[in-house]
Amino acid sequence: MLTIGQIFRLLTIQRVLVKHGLDELVFTLHLFRSVRWLQRLLPWNWFRKLDETRGVRLRLALENLGPIYVKFGQQLSTRRDMLPDDVALELAKLQDKVPPFPGSIAREIIERSLGKKIEDIFRDFDETPLASASVAQVHAATLKDGRKMIVKVIRPGITRLISRDLGIINILAETLERYSRDARRLKPSAVVAEFEKTLLNELDLMREAASASQLRRNFSDSEVLYVPEVAWELTNRDVMVMERVTGIPVSDIPALEQAGVDLKWLAERGVEIFFTQVFRDSFFHADMHPGNIFIQPDGDGHARIMIVDFGIMSSLSEYDQRYLADNFLAFLNRDYQRVAELHIESGWVPPETRVDEFEFAIRTVCEPMFDRPIRELSIGTLLLRLFQTARQFNMVILPQLLLLQKTLVNIEGLGRQLHPDLDLWATAKPIMQRWMDDRVGLRAMLKGTRDTVPYWLNRLPQFPHKVMELVDRLQDGRFQVELKSGEVDELRSELRRNNRNNTRVIIGCALVLAALVIYLIGPGAWIITGFPLLPLLLGITGGWLVVKVLGEL
């Protein structure tokens, strides 16, 4: 049920759409296609001449509708897997800048939120904001001990405004899905739900402070990246106080050159830092545009990179990391069959997808990229092409991967602005290779053994009981199945599974007995084998085989 405020807001949206020639979008809906001829009867269409492209008109309309719609357009710009390139590129130009609210109101919010007078907290507080955005604005301040800080304050009344506009955007998305087949395929309701989640997260400054603190801890030993410190005692949901950092904006190339910064070194370190966040820490800053990065020269050609604004962060599971690393390396080797197999093996596309068809589609899209020198290859563009191709095969793109792709585009653009000949592959490949080595091969096996030894030592006392229980179950014939009509395939599968389980149990018990025999003989036998940890490894392997079978019963 629409509220009175939402009805008036819908009328405003209709007026803005007409103003920018976007009422044509309404007539593309299945519901109105049969009466599309009515569009020519509308008076404002008789003499109107549309000079701008659809992307420009959409961007201008969103800017007219206000900050929430601007942020929604920014979110849509990351969905280049589902939007035409011209529209996505135009929406990426949207700037989240709104007029500031009075500093006196910011002062009131801070005092009410922290329960103290401004004079009791800060030596001085500048009521003129440093920056103002749709959700919050930032002020400069100095603590009693002389530390320079920034104070981020949530915009008053923003929760009510967000609730109203999100309700309308949800209604529009549901209407599109109801009457448009293309919209149902693109799932605008899911896009809106993800946007709502992101926006509501930005309203909680405790969440942003926690993200900043985590990133600072991840790079506490770094001499290249510096993350400002949060003043936790002065931070809550509506107010965040953080160390103020200063430096040269990363986009100010002349100032960096004048300060003697080695731009090639800076570009490579920036790429390294980002891929370290992705593959080492699985936690990355997802809004690394030039306005959030400052450079502090150290005088010898090097510098310290300083990052601010931690409202948009993201993380990747080990599954996502493996997907990215494997695909990037396979692509670099032009092994398109492996790329296709990886998508199917990881479950990103349906298992019934034909590898040869998927491989051909990937080759068609990606092969032309190799016509350019390898240093000009874009990892962000590669990822986008993979997403666009895989989407044709019903791949569901996860939000964190979209954020990663958007941030990669920012990093690449910035890196090549600093140093046009930057070879991103040469910089990123060692980090991905190191991550793969840590999880595959001997090093990964030793690490896995070390991590699981406490678990198996804890389970060993239960081992004799589990073995006897398994033997009893085998003697009781619990692995037998009855043949029923139409279940021949299931019977065969069950028989194969039983045989496999029996083999595992026999091998597992043999390994455990061998471990016990070697252990009882004494250290001399361990040394003769050439591997002192042999009895432990045999016991763990055998126990794992038996417990795995028990877990499947």
The DSSP output letter for 36 is G
Q: Where are the alpha helices (DSSP H) in 259-302?
A: 263-276
**Rounded Cα–Cα distance for residues 473 and 99 (Å):** 74
Pick from 6, 129, 118, 20: nearest CA to 68: 6
Q: Is 287 a catalytic residue?
A: yes
The three-state DSSP-derived secondary structure of 8-60 is HHHHHHHHHHHHCCCHHHHHHCCCCHHHHHHHHHCHHHCCCCCCCCHHHHHHH
Token couple for 519: 């252990």
**Residue partners of 253: CB distance under 8 A and separation at least 6:** 263, 417, 418
Separation CA 395–CA 29 (nearest Å): 25
405 neighbors 384 (Cβ within 8 angstroms): yes
CA atoms of 327 and 307, how far apart (whole Å): 29
Cα angle 81, 83, 84 (rounded to 5 degrees) comes to 110
- Give Cα 228 distance to the centre of its chain: 22
* CA nearest neighbour of 100 among 156, 140, 165: 156
Q: Which residue among the candidates 81, 165, 238, 287 is catalytic per the annotation? A: 287
44/210 Cα distance (integer angstroms): 51
Question: Which residues on neighbouring strands pair with residue 307, listed in sequence order?
Answer: 293
Torsion of CA 66, 55, 393, 439, to 10 degrees: -60
Q: What are phi and psi of 476, to 5 degrees?
A: -80, -5
Alpha-helical segments (H) within 66-123: 67-77, 85-91, 103-114, 118-121
d(CA 544, CA 230): 46
Token representation of residue 30: 């299945």
Q: Are 96 and 216 in contact (CB under 8 A)?
A: no
CA distance linking residue 270 with residue 16, whole number of Å: 41
> How many C-beta atoms surround the C-beta of residue 494 within 10 A?
14
Catalytic positions, written as ranges? 287
